[in-house]
Structure 1
C-alpha cells in the first residue's frame, strides 16, 4: 500500500515537459512562461475539473448569499478546479469560496477600506463587517469536520497574517522596502498561510500533527507558498506599481537590478523553490504511517504539487491583473 502511495507521488513529480504554454495576448503573467521550460512540474497545463461549471455556480451562489462579489472573469473557481481536478467538486468549490473570501480581504486591506481590527473580529467570532459574516459561514462548514488541533493551527496562521499585514502597513507608512532576508517569511504570512491548512478539510482528511510539524512537511508547505506568492508578485507587478512588498521590487532595490534583471532573478528563485518542493516530498516519512493515513497525506501533498501550475494557468487567463 505504501508503495502505491509513493508511486502516486512519483507520477506527480515526474510530469514530462511538453511544449511551453501558448502565450495569451498581453497578460502580465507571460513573464512567468520561461518556468514552463525549466521546471518539469510546470510544463504541462493542468487538467480542468469536469464539473467546473457546477463549481462556478456554487461559488456565485455562496458569494451572493454572503454579500461578496464573485467576478467570473477573475475565475477563482478555475484555479480551484485545476488544483483539485482529481478530487470531487465539493472540495474544489469549498476551496474556491475560501479564495474568493481571501482575495476580498486582500483587496480591502490594500484599499484601506478594511481595518486590521477585522482580524480580531474573525478570531473572536464577531460579525460586524461583511467579511466577518462570510468568514463565519465558511468556518462553520470547514471546521466541523476537523480536530481542535487543526482549528488551533488555523487560528495561529490567521494571526500570522494579521501581524504580517500590520508590518506591511508600518513599512508603507515609513517608506521602507523590506530586505531580501526578511521578505520571504513576511510574504508567506501575508498571502494567507491558512490556505495550505484548508486543503485538508476540503479533501476531508487531516495530516497527523507530528507529521505536520516535521521538517520535510514544513519545507514542502513553505516552498509551495513561496512559489505561488512569488509567481503572484511577478504577475501583479505591472498593476501594483508603488507597492514595495513585491519580490521583484525588493530584488531590484537591494541588488541594484533593473526590472528585467530583477524579474529574471525572481524566476531563478521560483525554479529553485519548485525543486525544493520535490525534494521535500521525497523525504516525507510515509513508511511511518498506517496505509489509510499514508493515502490521506499523499492526497494533500499531491494537491500542493499541483498548485504551482494550477496557479500559473489561472494567472494567464484571469482578468485580475490585466
Structure 2
C-alpha cells in the first residue's frame, strides 16, 4: 500500500522448515478433492491451488506424521472452501440462507448424518477422522470451537447488515474465532501426537497461551490483508477499526496494531513459563507433563508457521508483494 511503512513485527520463536511430507500431503489432497467434489467450479479449484493450503499446514505442523498431515491438510482445505462459499456465494449475503447453510453442518458435530451437499458430506467424513480415537474432552473442545467458528459467519453478516461496527476490544476477541485459529490450535495435539489430560486444559496458563496465540495470528493476518480489506470497505480488519475509532492516520493505526501483536508475543512467553510452573503445582509429571510441554512447543511452531506463510505464498495471483499488499481472505486464516 503506497505510503505505508510496515513495522518490524516481533515473534520470539525460531523459524523452521516445512513438514517434510508436504509433497505427499499435496498428492493426497488432489485425490480427495477429486473424490469429494467440494469445489463447485474450476475457479474454486484454482483458488485453492493459489492458496497453497498444504504449505501453510506443513509450516503450521512441521512435526506431524504423514497420515496426520494429510488429515490436517484435508481439514484446512474444507474450511477454505467453506470460507469462499460464504464470502462469495449467496449463503453469505442473506442471514436466513446463512443460518440454513449452517444447519447442514452443525448437527454432524452431535452425531447426525450429513446433509446432501458435497461440502456437508466432506465435513462429516473429515470430522469422523479427526475425532477417531480421541478423548471425549478433546472432542468436546474441537466441537465447541468449530461451532463458534461456523456461527461467526452468521454473526458477522448480521452485524454487517445492521451497520454495527465492533469495538477494537470486541473485534480482537471475535477475530480469534472467525479465523478458525482455535480449531487450528486444537489439532496441534494431533500433529504432535498427544491427547492432553482435561485437567491441563483448565489451567489458566493454557487458556492464556491459546488466546494469545490465536490473537497473534489474527492480527498479523490483518496487516497482510490490509489493502484488500480497505478496498472492500468493511470493518473486518483491526487496523481499519483502530483508524475508525481513534480517527488517526492509517500509519498510526498500523503501528498501534503492531503494538498489540508485540503484546501477544509477550503474553505467549509469559504463559509458556506459567504453564511449567502450574504443571509442578498440580503435581503433573511423567508422560502427561511431557505431552503438555510438547503441545506448548507445537503452539509456538504453529504461530511461527502462520507468520512465515504469507511471505512464501500468495492467496490471489493479483496480490501485490509484501505486507499491506498481500490479498487474503477477510474471514478465514490466510
Bin of the TM-score, shorter chain as denominator length: 0.7 to 0.9
Q: 1:319 to 1:259 in 2, by over 3 A?
A: same
- 1:290-309 to 2 correspondence within 5 Å? 290-309=285-304
Moved more, 292-301 or 135-144: 292-301
Tell me the residue number matched to 1:247.
238
Q: Is the 8 A contact 2:50 2:314 kept in 1?
A: yes
Q: Runs of 5+ in structure 1 lacking a partner?
A: 1-25
Q: 1:251 to 1:83 in 2, by over 3 A?
A: same
Tell me the residue number matched to 2:34.
64
Tell me the residue number matched to 1:318.
313
Q: Is the 8 A contact 1:46 1:313 kept in 2?
A: no
Tell me the residue number matched to 2:8.
34
Q: Is the 8 A contact 1:95 1:199 kept in 2?
A: no
Q: Quote how far apart the aligned CAs of 1:91 are.
A: 2.7
Q: Quote how far apart the aligned CAs of 1:157 are.
A: 1.7
User: Alignment partner of 2:16: what SS?
Assistant: coil
Q: 1:313 to 1:39 in 2, by over 3 A?
A: closer
Distance 1:59 1:176 in 2: 39
Match of 1:107 among 68, 79, 84: 84
Tell me the residue number matched to 1:47.
17
User: Alignment partner of 1:243: what SS?
Assistant: coil
Distance 1:104 1:33 in 2: 32
- 1:207-218 to 2 correspondence within 5 Å? 207-218=196-207
Q: 1:43-73, CA deviations, whole angstroms, 9 ceiling, x for partnerless residues?
A: x542122222112112222222212356333
Moved more, 296-305 or 119-128: 119-128
Tell me the residue number matched to 1:120.
103
Q: Is the 8 A contact 1:227 1:273 kept in 2?
A: yes
TM-score with structure 1 setting the length = 0.83
Q: Quote how far apart the aligned CAs of 1:280 are.
A: 0.4
**2:235 matched to 1:263?**
no
Q: Is the 8 A contact 2:63 2:192 kept in 1?
A: no
Tell me the residue number matched to 1:19.
none
Distance 2:12 2:189 in 1: 26
Q: Quote how far apart the aligned CAs of 1:232 are.
A: 1.3
Q: Quote how far apart the aligned CAs of 1:33 are.
A: 6.7
What is the aligned-residue RMSD (CA, Å)? 2.3
Tell me the residue number matched to 1:141.
129
User: Alignment partner of 2:177: what SS?
Assistant: helix
Distance 1:165 1:310 in 2: 25
Q: Quote how far apart the aligned CAs of 1:314 are.
A: 1.2
Tell me the residue number matched to 1:96.
73
Q: Is the 8 A contact 2:216 2:265 kept in 1?
A: yes
Q: 1:153 to 1:48 in 2, by over 3 A?
A: closer
Distance 2:118 2:222 in 1: 27
Q: Quote how far apart the aligned CAs of 1:135 are.
A: 0.9
Q: Is the 8 A contact 2:238 2:257 kept in 1?
A: yes
Q: 1:258 to 1:296 in 2, by over 3 A?
A: same
Tell me the residue number matched to 1:5.
none
Match of 2:279 among 267, 270, 286: 286
Tell me the residue number matched to 2:219.
230
Q: Is the 8 A contact 2:61 2:191 kept in 1?
A: no
Distance 2:63 2:121 in 1: 31
Distance 1:129 1:31 in 2: 45
Structure 1 runs (4+) greater than 4 angstroms displaced: 30-33
Q: Quote how far apart the aligned CAs of 1:32 are.
A: 6.2
Q: 1:18-57, CA deviations, whole angstroms, 9 ceiling, x for partnerless residues?
A: xxxxxxxx9x9x976711xx4332xx54212222211211
